[in-house]
Structure 1
Amino acid sequence: NKRIDGLIIDEVYARYYIDKQKNKDDYNIITGGFDATDFAVGMRKSDKELQTKINEAFEKLYKEGKMQEISKKWFGDDEIAKQ
């Protein structure tokens, strides 16, 4: 039927996508066997000031519980704690 039969995607994004579907029972999530993935924010190597500001902002959001709040809102769980 020219549809995708399978897809490898981050579990957080997969669950978010599936939760938005009307036909949730048509999907299977198979876990295990895959390594964790790290994410990064790209910037020029020489831009230390920007790097410092971004790191400080992330630290502040984490300490204030905002990252966890955002994670729960959009992904239904505290994915920050799992990292």
Structure 2
Amino acid sequence: WTTSDPLPTSPHQLADDALARPTGQRLEVLRLLAAGMTDEAIARKIGVSTRTIRRQTSEIMDQLDAGSRFQAGILAARLGWVD
């Protein structure tokens, strides 16, 4: 905890240029992640491989500069991408 960075308190603190709202399948993946589904369950639900879901999750985390799936979910919610 002593070396951690605080999460931004508003979406305006995040870099606007890197935050294009996801669309299509990536947005669906984000919503299902936020609902607590595993990569395997998401892959089955939308009909793609688990590897595809892991790649998309990694890309979402990179876009948000998140260190974990949990942090990515919090940031996505603050941006209004998920409920």
TM-score range, shorter chain: under 0.3
After TM superposition, the score normalised by the length of structure 1 is: 0.28
Which structure has the bigger radius of gyration? 1
Higher helix share: 2
